[in-house]
Structure 1
Amino acid sequence: MKTKYNYLFAILALILSGCTDVDDVSALYPEIKDIKELSIVDKNATTETKALYSNLWAIQSKGFMFGHHDDLWYGRKWYNEAGRSDTKDVCGDYPAVFSFDVAEIMDNRYNSEANIIRKRVAIEAYNRGEVLTACAHLNNPKTGGDSWDNSSNQVVKEILTEGSATNIKFKLWLDRLADFALNLKGADGKNIPIIFRPFHEHTQSWSWWGSSCTTQNEFIALWKFTVNYLRDTKGVHNLIYAISPQIDSVQGRDSFLFRWPGNDYVDFLGMDAYHGLNPNTFTTNIYTLSRLSKELRKPCGVTETGVEGIQRSGVPEKNYWTQQILTPATGQFISMIVLWRNAYDPSEGGNHFYSVFKGHASEKNFIKMYESPVSFFSKDLPKMYQMAEGLTIK
């Protein structure tokens, strides 16, 4: 296990040699020194869910958790091998955050055998003390198309029309998610908390819930309908609700709050960032996200990012991890940076991968990032499901 300390303090210590207490978060972030209580969307959230929420906030003053989508399920050259991970193949440790998709659990693909694997690896991640986050590339409940079917601007209208065929179907999909969440239990017998980010990248036009198919009022109503149904109707109390606009260029505060459902309906501020090889853009947007996190008193993180193929014009970026991820994250206030998936491609005929794997040109540089005291992997995590000291979640 790496020795972790507050990296911002380490930086400030070079300037203010009198500072020596690496655990004194208030010295580094004066604007949060008096924050002892955070508010969560679900007041009846489980003990473990509230504990995770407290630790998402606390860890932001120490570093960021590295995450990878579907990392425990498949990798560049392997599929469904128990205990394997592209990340672990390279650095000997699992990601701190395991990202996965719950759409196939919910929609007409719910009988997929892949759901057995999803459930197994999610439980394995929790049992190791890792953090789970889930998106949902849901099929279009009105047209039968996929997530990218933005051919109709009536989908959300019909979901919100009580008794309509689309409303009934969507509630069935939420029922399936509720069943999954309520039956997802760790070795400790507890319901496993999930950071759930429905309707991700809603700032974009590609999805049936996105900016081209919904009005502001419709999107906000859809968000609230989903939260209310899962929390109040179905009694699911192990979800942390995360919003994740896609921010690819330098954007201001308003873009991060695009179609904001309200402070009482959002727990976590996410950002899907596909900005290419532009570390200055990434740094600036993470800074804005960090400041908003402090302002709203909600933890935050980069919920998706990466460059397909980890390359520039066909040439591998050997120093990608220190230049494009570690450096922009240093000195910030974010809980996680999650890379998108490495598609299973044993012939290596394509470039659909966003994180490292054994043999990639950036492997040595990835290990440098791993060895940094500001990057948290599985073995570096505190007990994420025990309440962080000095914090109360109401």
Structure 2
Amino acid sequence: MKEHLQGRLAVEPKLIHPAASDNAKRLMAYLCSIYGKRTLTGQQYGVVSTPEMDVIVRATGKYPAVGGFDFMNDSPSRVERGAVPTDTPLAIDWWRRGGIVTFCWHWNAPKDLIDEAPDNGWHRGFYTSATTFDIAGAMNDESSEDFALLMRDIDAIAIQLKILQSVGIPVLWRPLHEASGGWFWWGAKGPQPCVKLWRIMYDRLTNLHGLNNLIWVWNGQHRDWYPGDEYVDIIGEDIYPPERTYISSLERFRQALGYTTANKMIALSENGPLPDPDKMIGEGAPWLWNCTWYGGFVCVKGANGEWDVGEQYTEREMLIKYYGHPFTVTLDELPDLTAYPIEG
């Protein structure tokens, strides 16, 4: 065991929500049981089309264990402009196939969209460059219209999360991602308003809406943005190495260990090229799961109109190695997560 991991891989299967659902507890127990020993394969679904899973299984004979979804088109400012939400039913189908569900939310700003072509259209309203919405102003005045709109948006997503809860699905829930980068509006004004929004979101979804199926994955990527151990179940890092660069990203794993002295599991919550599992083992970066981003990161449409492995970021040989490696877990290897024993 690498020195920096001594004692850090033993994570108790205790969720921050004391009244978490049984299936959330089951999933957490399973994750804790494999952490440091194996890593879950994962793939983000495409927002418009979803050929990724079919491409992967044709190339490797395996499906990923984790399916990644996005509430992007459930954002009210997108719905009112004609966006059609798709991912809740896709996630239900994935769970019923035996998979693990993770959701992020490219949260379109609730107002003040610049809406100028070509780069700042309304559909890019989660980017700081595409909106003048001021999170700091909203967080500083809870009687303001801006604050009320943020709560409206959270309530809209709560409806979708309740649908997932109603059919027993535990969700690896990853909101307000990549905040410290500043490229999303929720991170544009520094740590304080974003941390406050995270805590408010936790309270609202948990206590107002009664959601008990969420495992909270914090993905702020800098310790100044960490909202506190009582608000975080799992830490995620999003890493996009150069094309065909299959590194373990050990330094980022170590960085994530440093966000807290508590033992929290660490996931590669987004990636471009896949990490080499041999390097993950050898260097001591045992990410809990990976979730390759969609589109060109994994597939490409050929001249015949058929989708195939896109080798710009990860070559076919590495894709096959990753999905066939004894360190990685694929869909067919997952236990029945509706019957997994609850520990503690």
TM-score range, shorter chain: 0.7 to 0.9
In structure 2, relative to structure 1, the CA distance for the partners of 1:103 and 1:380 (3 Å cut) is: same
What is the percentage of aligned positions where both structures have the same residue? 22
Q: Distance in 1 between matches of 2:336 and 2:47?
A: 20
Paired letter, 1:176:
A
Residue of 203, 209, 216 corresponding to 2:186:
209
Question: TM-score, with normalisation over the residues of structure 1?
Answer: 0.72
In structure 2, relative to structure 1, the CA distance for the partners of 1:73 and 1:141 (3 Å cut) is: closer
Residue of 191, 198, 202 corresponding to 1:227:
202
Matching residue of 1:286: 253
Please report how far the alpha carbon of residue 73 of structure 1 lies from its aligned counterpart in structure 2 after TM superposition: 7.4
Residue of 309, 321, 328 corresponding to 2:279:
328
In structure 2, relative to structure 1, the CA distance for the partners of 1:72 and 1:220 (3 Å cut) is: closer
Matching residue of 1:197: 174
Matching residue of 2:162: 182
Deviation string, structure 1 residues 181-235 (Cα, Å, up to 9, x no partner): 11126xxx6331111111111110211111xx22332221111011111111111
Unaligned regions of 5+ residues in structure 1, if any?
Answer: 1-7, 13-28, 247-254, 308-320, 349-355
In structure 2, relative to structure 1, the CA distance for the partners of 1:105 and 1:346 (3 Å cut) is: same
2:77 corresponds to 1:108: yes
- Tell me the secondary structure at the aligned position of residue 224 of structure 2: coil
2:266 corresponds to 1:300: yes
Q: Contact 2:75–2:108 at 8 Å: present in 1 too? A: no
Q: Distance in 2 between matches of 1:279 and 1:228?
A: 39
CA RMSD, Structure 1 to Structure 2 (Å): 3.2
Q: Distance in 1 between matches of 2:87 and 2:34?
A: 26
Q: Which has the higher contact order (CA 8 A, sep 6+)?
A: 1
Paired letter, 1:110:
V
Q: Within 5 Å, give how 1:27-66 maps onto structure 2.
A: 31=7, 37-66=12-41
Matching residue of 1:268: 234
Matching residue of 2:67: 98
Matching residue of 1:378: 331
Deviation string, structure 1 residues 238-257 (Cα, Å, up to 9, x no partner): 111111135xxxxxxxx3x2
Q: Contact 1:271–1:304 at 8 Å: present in 2 too? A: yes
Q: Distance in 1 between matches of 2:44 and 2:279?
A: 20
Deviation string, structure 1 residues 316-339 (Cα, Å, up to 9, x no partner): xxxxx5xx4323322433310111
User: Size of the alignment, in residue pairs?
Assistant: 321
Q: Distance in 2 between matches of 1:165 and 1:347?
A: 48
Q: Contact 1:72–1:85 at 8 Å: present in 2 too? A: no
Question: TM-score, with normalisation over the residues of structure 2?
Answer: 0.81
Q: Distance in 2 between matches of 1:68 and 1:388?
A: 26
Q: Distance in 2 between matches of 1:326 and 1:36?
A: 22
Deviation string, structure 1 residues 337-392 (Cα, Å, up to 9, x no partner): 111111586467xxxxxxx9447582233222222110111011223344457x32
Paired letter, 2:76:
D
Please report how far the alpha carbon of residue 101 of structure 1 lies from its aligned counterpart in structure 2 after TM superposition: 0.9
Q: Within 5 Å, give how 1:341-352 maps onto structure 2.
A: 341-342=294-295, 346=301
Deviation string, structure 1 residues 94-139 (Cα, Å, up to 9, x no partner): 1111111112113222376742x42222112111221111111111
Paired letter, 1:45:
A
Matching residue of 1:172: 152
Deviation string, structure 1 residues 7-50 (Cα, Å, up to 9, x no partner): x7xxx9xxxxxxxxxxxxxxxx86269x5844322111111011
Larger radius of gyration: 1
In structure 2, relative to structure 1, the CA distance for the partners of 1:294 and 1:97 (3 Å cut) is: farther
Please report how far the alpha carbon of residue 159 of structure 1 lies from its aligned counterpart in structure 2 after TM superposition: 4.7
Paired letter, 2:322:
M
Unaligned regions of 5+ residues in structure 2, if any?
Answer: 115-124
- Tell me the secondary structure at the aligned position of residue 40 of structure 1: coil
Matching residue of 2:120: none
Q: Contact 1:140–1:149 at 8 Å: present in 2 too? A: no
Deviation string, structure 1 residues 135-168 (Cα, Å, up to 9, x no partner): 1111122412511135647334215522321122
